Structure 1
Amino acid sequence: MAMLARRLDYLRGNLKLLFLCPCLVLLTGAVAWAIMASMLAEENAALRAATERDAVILSRQYARELERTVSHLDQIALGFKYQWERACDAAALAPQVSTGVYPPDERLYILLVDRDGRVLHATLDKADAVDLSGRDYFKAHKAGGTQGLLISGPLRGRVTGRDAMVFSRRVNAADGGFAGLVLVSVESGYLAPLLDGRALRPGDFLLACSAAGVIHAQQADGQAAGAGRASSPPAGGCAPDAAGAAGEPPHFLARSSAGGYPLTAVAGLSAASAMAPWMAMQARFAQVKLGVAALLALLGVAGMAITARLLWRRLQAEEVKNTYRMAVDAAREGFYMVRPVHDAAGAIVDFEVADCNQRGASYYGLDRGQLLGRRFGSFAYPGAYVQEVIRLFAGAMETGYHEDEFQAPDSSPLQPRWLHRRLMRSQDGLAVTLRDISDLKAQEQMLSRLANEDQLTGLPNRNWLAGYLPDALAAARAGGERLGLLLVDLDNFKDINDALGLAVGDALLQSVAQRLRERLPAGHCLARLGGDEFAVVMPAAGCREQAAQATAAMLEALDAPIELADGSRHAVRASIGGSMFPEDGGSADTLQRHADIALYEAKARARGSFLFFHAEFSERLLLRLEREQALRAAIARDEFVLHYQPRVDAMTGELRSMEALVRWQHPQRGVVPPLEFIETAERTGMIVALGELVIMKACAQIAAWQAQDLRLVPVSINVSPRQFSEKSLGPMFAEQIALHRIDASLVEVEVTESGIMADTDEIAANLALLEQLGIRLLVDDFGTGYASLSQLQRLRLDGLKVDRSFTTALARGREGEVFYRAIVSMAHALGMSVVAEGVETAAELQVLQKLGCDEIQGYLVSRPVPADEVAALMERRYLFPHKAAA
């Protein structure tokens, strides 16, 4: 009712105009015609400009999304490439591919391809049988045509049958040759823009294009139209838009490049949808033209009607204006209309606020009325900042558009600290919008801190180092300076965690981080890479001696025990490996790899030490890796044979047992003695698989001798401490004895003292099962370990094999005899037999006979012999040389 009353009052106040209309009807018609034509032209231009701007914004937005998506895919490929090249073995990456280190996505597949085009590992089922050697991207990488990320496609997947884009990186072998490829394959939908389908109107589309054509198309209904060649994209695709029937292009197109990648985002906004308001206005004005013609015909009466209609429209326009003002004042963005101020020469020297909303005024801490008419120069901007703002606004006047984000200086009158700014030319001025993004920036900074800071120690983390080190190298290269990288690894820190718990370990890590940080010179950067490993970047390192001084200070910082809050004191030592730019590498990856090799060498030599990288470290590491790979392959191919060394009665020389000794039958080197590979097998854990081979071969050989009706004696098999801690050892003996149908009394087990020292469930279970089977158990190399008398009594062992060092000591005097007599007496008191190892002379035999030793083994009796020579020893039975027997 109030609105109706206002409208009636408005009409009554303008009744006099109704009587003037008959006289001015013709002039009014002409003016109205001109006004309508002008309005149509202005609306057409405004709609076109706005649509072109929206197309540019949309293409840029999609280009940024494409860049982030491809960058993410590139990071996945780089991660696998780095780890493959570092490990020199794609098998080490299988857990990451198969166990889901990277989040699963049915549209994304990761494939590791060897140098022959065969798929080694993949997140895609049934991909292992695929041969990719015929693919162009494979040929290009193998030929060395590209060293970076190669984008291929769209290609039809051989497993999925669907089109997909392929992002690939070459993997180099240690010698720089071609080792294979890391492929990240995504289907077209993975490149879809992250926007609501309602952002596109009917007829609008978004395209992602490569040099080969359209790789993804997004239409107004939000559906991905898939990929295709440039000849058949939707609505013209990446090709120039064709003109419509009236000379108007059917789409407004904008193209933006996706950063450093050869991809283009194309936004096409339908001209029909964009110009629909103008077409509607044109239709309405057509009706008005008919009305004007009728008004001219009706003269006075029609003139009065037209006047009344104009008054009514003016009222509506006033209401729309008031509504717009209310909406603008309530908007979340600050809105300003500014106009330039020119000097006498016509140059822009300042800008003046012509209009603004209340939100915009509040950004300056003012009311709207206080801000109107103010010039930029009147604000207390710091230094030359106001001139920079004027130059930026003047540039927007020339280009027509500017958009950025900026941080307001501390002395700026603007109250928000971070703002998004958009400038658009409007006739002879600029339309300016400001949006407060301070909260968003604070959130970004918090996320950046979380991503780059170690939560336990507060130090930068591995992610930070990955971003910082390349920049630091670039700065050192540009300045002609050296740079050092240190990797610090705490020695035996896992023992502290296992023994004292993670809480104590975390407290120690915090204290270690604090000590290292305090001892580092200014400018050096300390980061925690994870676990008990730290990294130090030393810009402007000077020479190795200066870097070594900083390293010595860090090691010295850890000399004193660390006292925790609970009063406990703990000693922590560290090993450090270092590399220097430029002599040890020119890239971050190379420096880190060489520092890691130096750290590995330092820990191998002596814990708590420091070494800089040297080329021979890498060579030794490669040699060690080659040995491990060769041993692993030898176990897989079963290149091992058993030799047998007899054990005889010390008094009569009668054959009592045969010890099975493993030999590596190398295809090129011939027989390799165990001293060259047992340590590697123990260190890598391959001793378990090798031990299983020895058990199977020994039991099979006993069965073969049994089939020959030989006079059998037991065969003793050496079992490593690692094997004895495995649950499968006892069942393995039981299985082989049953499989070959041999008596358990023909099998003996030899284990070192350390193998039975630990009181674990696995060792107890294995001992119980071996005893239940009837297998004799002997302690090998007795005297070199730490077995106690109570342990020997508790375990109820069958015999002791005394280490050869004690046998050799017999020839050096009475002290050796006394010690040996004590061992024999102790063993006999516990009901165990004594075997002397390494007997080589008749004099040693005579002393052992005098001391009551039960059995002997050594070169005096026989060297280890192949299996085919054992039958002669079994038939001979008494193996003493005649002089020794006497």
Structure 2
Amino acid sequence: MPLRVLRHPSVGIGSTEFCLHGTTYAVRKQMWNRRFLRRHARPLLLWPVIASLIVLVLWGVALTHLQNDKDALTAQAEQLAHARVNGYAEQINRTVAHIDQATLLVNHLWMEEPGGVNLEKLYVDGVFPKEQFHVTIANDLGDVLGSTLPTPDPVNFSTYGWYQAHKTNAGLGLLVDGTALSVRTGKPVIRFSRRLDDLAGSFAGVTWVTVDPAFLTTLYDGRDLGEGEFISLQLKNGPLLASKTGGAVTLNSVFRSDLGFTSAAGLSHEPGERFHDGQARIVAWKKLSPYPLITVAALAKPHIYAAHNEAAADTQRWALAATLLLIVLAMVGTGYAARLAWRKEQDMETRSIFQLAVDAAREGFYMVRPCYSEQGAITDYEIVDCNERGAELMGFTKDQLLGKCFRALCSSEHFPSTFSFFERGMREGFFEDEMRVPSERFFKADWVQRRLVRSGSGLAMTIRDISESKAHEQALTSIANTDALTGLPNRHWLTHYLPSAINHAAHYHTNLAVLFIDLDNFKNINDTLGHAAGDELLRAAAARLGALVRANDKVVRLGGDEFTIILEQVHKLDDVAHVAQMIVESLGEPFKLGNASGNRVRASIGISVYPQDGTTDDALLKHADIAMYSAKAAGKGRFHFYQSQLSEYLLMRVSREEALRQAIERDEFVLYYQPRVDAATGKLCSMEALVRWIHPERGLIPPSEFIPVAEETGLIVQLGEQVIAKTCAQLAIWRAQGLPPVPLSVNVSALQFNQGKVREVLAQYMARYHIDPALIGIELTESCMVADGANVPLELNAIRKLGVKLLIDDFGTGYSSLSQLQELDVDVLKVDRAFTKKLSQSQQGLAFFKAIVSMAQALDIEVVAEGVETAEQLRLLQTLACSEVQGHYVSRPLPADEVPALMRQRFLFPHLQAVG
């Protein structure tokens, strides 16, 4: 409708008021302003928004930089604190070990000649360090019998708490007493004491070493300690023994309260309230083993962050100045944008219809008019106008398309849906949708977005080609639902598909089976041949599974070595069992991985069936998983259907794993030792350390019950480290007892070896207990030695550089050859007991063993026969010139307290069977 503008006759030009169809100009202007703000809110807000974003980025970058700088300083400080506390701990450990050895020496001399230990002579001969600590002996009445510290007057210590503790408790070992004043010198000392027993094991007195607290801090050079930084030594129960800040030594704690160091080692950030001087600090600590001591190192945060705080203040000032400048620029830009928008609004009022055509450069625009029948009903829609893009989308030029009706453009099959689309636009005034273009493609696109706006008696239609975005959307959906390694559907896809499959089975009253498949021994493939071979095996296994099921069945990879198969329209359980058996047999066939063939895995399969085993996807998957664990426990390479009692078995398995985890934490494991002897003479050559679990309720548990669980759960890494630590500690104990040194070998699992930490663990504990590397051997399986990967020779070489021997355990059960082992510089082959058993059973067994010995001798590798149980086996091995033998015929595995007798005996063959 045209706009009529009338000038009111009673108003002058200076205050002209217009009437627009009865609406005053003031009201009209107010409405126009509101519409202007609605239309141009975004452009007007652009400058403030951009300025705000820049400010946010500016402050974000500044604060991030400052935080990164602070984090870097913190990391450096934490690293320094760790280094200081570790260095100080190592020094204290060595010092206390020397003190401990002094008390052990006195104890040993006392056992040989009670009351006859001459401390003064030992002190003069240099057995004890001079001017560092003093050694004293008191008898069972507390009277001093001898001391390296001059004692002019008789002194009795029987009333002291530490003396009484030793008297009433024979198992205290080395007892460390807190700082106290010496009764003989009147100066503060720290006392390290040990009980003395007579030959009958009764209390005979106490020997102790007293040390000046300053001596324990002079071990650390305090010149690098900055302002507020200190190192200190304290007992595990809290009392401070000594502390050092710079060059000053103090016996006063800087802590207001005990920090309660609960873990073996750690680091914490403590607030200033925890310290007497009020300075916040980074505190690192380390507990010494086996002594009840804690070393502490602390760095003052004000000193650490002093330079950072100055830089932060400068950065914040610059950021604030930049913020103010951006605010001014935003205000100027917003004013300029408002002026431009005001001018453009004048033109937009007259071009609202045209806006539909230029809404987006890629859109096609059409003006559509309804066609009426003689009775006045709409029968079709005609294109009365369009832009070039619109004509192009429909495969015409603009001149060719104008005047055409949609009945002529669409097939008879799709015209009703098109007509319905226009009807809805006429009825509602606005409508849009997305449409997949039919096969005859009257739009030159796969997907289009259609929009209708009622305009007078007709419709304005825009068409946008969204094929590319739809294709991208479908590609993302495919990626989200497809396993990248095997190309199978993944767990995400299964969570959406399985509920619909269950609903379909419920609607048609059919059964549905869920097969949960786990590849047995797959972990060994990864650990020995490498992850590349593992990925290749997974792809091959996926291909085999896909070939065994029907086209409408679904194979899904859940992750790792787990697959799921959905069998729909199941009529009989026998059909499911048949498919499961085929899978077991197919996956049991050897796989060729790279250049290596003969690699075998087996499949354990758990099966749940809808509806008897569950009516939801979660229930079916859970029950199939439980059934799979039952199949695996029954021997692997088989399938089980779900039964309700299987849930109890799963709980038991989880309980077993948790029990093993707690046993490792509580250190419930001990070592037994089985000797290896010279095959010709029976002379003790070495021993193998074998781990046993001493359960608090079940007693001694053999390795066959817990080693597989440890391997499967990865706990073997922690357990293996404990075994190495106990082996080194036992060697140190036998050394202190004066026993002849005998090498020990330790078994290392494939998982430990492939994690590449065996060398670090060996180095750590050999250094801690001062063990000669020649006394340590590492027993590895063949699979470890010939695993696919460049890191194997590197790791073996690193272990060899420590000076320890490399032994191959259970040789003959893997895939290696003697030539391969020679390249890896192996010292000893331990031939599997299965070949020892066959020695006296057949000529082939004798010939095979002879071949191993001959080739090993040619390669300068010693051969040990495992599992020697009879004199006949020993005789045959002697004729074959086998280097060493090990087995029950020589000795069963023995606990540590029975080993010294063997070590003193040295020759272990029964007299009647020894052969020269």
Give TM-score, length-normalised by structure 1. 0.49
